[in-house]
A and B are shown apart, each in its own frame.
Chain A
Amino acid sequence: MSEDDDAAAVRECLAGNGQAFARLVERYERPVYNVALRMLRNPEDARDVSQNVFLKAYQGLEQYDPQYRFYSWIYRIAINESLNVLRLRRREAGPVDEQQPADGPGPAESLVEDATQREVADAIDHLKPDYRAVIVLKYVAERSYEEIAEILGIEVKTVRSRLFTARQVMKDRLSARGMLG
């Protein structure tokens, strides 16, 4: 399924064939779930976010601007929903040390990770949410700078700056833990 297929599915859906949306669910269920899972590191929350992403997309399809790629739009919803969960977690947890992961979720039980991968996931958890979003879109969703900029609604130079900083922070943490030797 290509970008053209996405656009066709959106058009069909808006023309009255709601079943066309099922093709979009089928295509994006896995990437959206993985983005939410890496943002939140909690399978239960990732599942809830994934469901809500598609409900909101369906609900807002008439407002979708076809000049943007459908996947940019759906990833944007996924990131925003995940950021909302992180904000809610922080509010519920109260003030926290900036150096600690503010979200405090458990490990992603649906992922089979070795020790190194858990360290990498921990390092992602320690990033501030805006930086985490860039890392997740770059490495989990495998998006380019330009696509990430479109998804997040920021300039490419901001994407580059956040990505550089995030990688640097992760490198420092992983190095301190002896993971880069």
Chain B
Amino acid sequence: MTDDPRLLELIHADLDGRLDAAEKAELARRLLADPAARRLHDELRRTDTLLRDLPRAEPPDGLRSAIQGALGLSDHHRGGGRVADGGVGFRLAAAVVTGLVVVGLGYGLLSERRDTTALQGSVAAAGAPVATLRAGDGKVVARLERMGTDRVRLMLETSGATTGELAVISSAQGPACRAEGAGSSLSTSATGESILELSGGNTRAALDCAGQGQVRLETRSDGTVQDVATVALSQ
């Protein structure tokens, strides 16, 4: 009987190497006497083997440095002793990260009410370092990553039919923003507003903002602000 709970328990425990000698003998007797039990045992063992043989992936390039950058940690830590910043430094960094997660979650909540087909602001469900923007089809088109306590970088890549505007607005005398890549339509106004206009073509752009103060992100469609995220930078 292959639905016998005792038999199932013995087979699964066998797969996990958790049978003692008496239980092994009991399982062997049952398998010998019952062809259906033998087939069940074979199939579960094969399933177990297939699961164990699943390949592992290498993390994407830049993941570790993105994490360490977001936390303000150096990539070259090996052999380093204690640094002199004391517990205050850790608490400050942790507070900054807390703020980012809160901003991210708030941004995500705002986004859930949205129903647009153009560029949508939504924090990645996991609440990526700061924010992830997705197009209406769910594809990530922009990623805002903290590169340290005083620097944030927006990386944007679109192809296809994504339309809308992404405005990056720096507070007065706040962080300076500088375009690093070539956007299809990137402009910066005298008031510190950088606009990336997406008109359905391919766009690759990166924007670096560094300094102290706030950086505000707005996604817009037909001139209407759809979503907002604010990031505070400190030195």
With A16-B82, A116-B50 already in contact, the answer to whether A25 and B68 are too (CB < 8 A) is yes
Q: Does B71 contact A (CB under 8 A)?
A: yes
Q: Does B160 contact A (CB under 8 A)?
A: no
Q: Does A70 contact B (CB under 8 A)?
A: no
* Chain A nearest Cβ from B7, distance in angstroms: 12
Interface string of A13-27 (1 = CB under 8 A from B): 111111111110110
The number of chain A residues with a CB under 8 A from chain B is 68
Contacts of B132 in A (CB 8 A): 48
Chain A residues 91 to 150 lying within 8 A of chain B, measured CB to CB, are: 91, 108, 110-113, 116-117, 120-121, 135, 138-140, 145
The number of chain B residues with a CB under 8 A from chain A is 60
Q: Does A5 contact B (CB under 8 A)?
A: no
A180 to B42, CA, bound (A): 9
Asked whether A33 lies within 8 Å of B57 as measured between CB atoms, the reply is yes
With A19-B77, A167-B48, A170-B47 already in contact, the answer to whether A55 and B125 are too (CB < 8 A) is no
Interface of A is mostly: helix
B98 nearest CB neighbor, chain A only? A59
A21 to B77, CA, bound (A): 9
Asked whether B140 lies within 8 Å of A19 as measured between CB atoms, the reply is no
Q: Does A61 contact B (CB under 8 A)?
A: yes
How many A-B pairs with Cβ below 8 Å? 178
A173 nearest CB neighbor, chain B only? B47
Contacts of B60 in A (CB 8 A): 33, 43, 47, 110
A121 nearest CB neighbor, chain B only? B54
Asked whether B16 lies within 8 Å of A145 as measured between CB atoms, the reply is yes
Chain B residues 95 to 133 lying within 8 A of chain A, measured CB to CB, are: 97-98, 100-101, 112, 124-129, 132
Asked whether A19 lies within 8 Å of B73 as measured between CB atoms, the reply is yes
Q: Does B22 contact A (CB under 8 A)?
A: no
A116 to B53, CA, bound (A): 10
With A29-B59, A171-B44 already in contact, the answer to whether A18 and B73 are too (CB < 8 A) is yes
- Besides A167-B12, A168-B8, 11 more A-B contacts (Cβ < 8 Å) are A18-B83, A29-B63, A29-B67, A33-B59, A34-B56, A50-B59, A58-B93, A81-B126, A84-B125, A164-B8, A175-B43
Chain A positions near chain B (C-beta within 8 angstroms): 12-23, 25-26, 29-30, 33-34, 37-38, 43-45, 47-56, 58-59, 61-62, 81, 84-85, 88-89, 91, 108, 110-113, 116-117, 120-121, 135, 138-140, 145, 160, 163-164, 167-168, 170-171, 174-175, 179-180
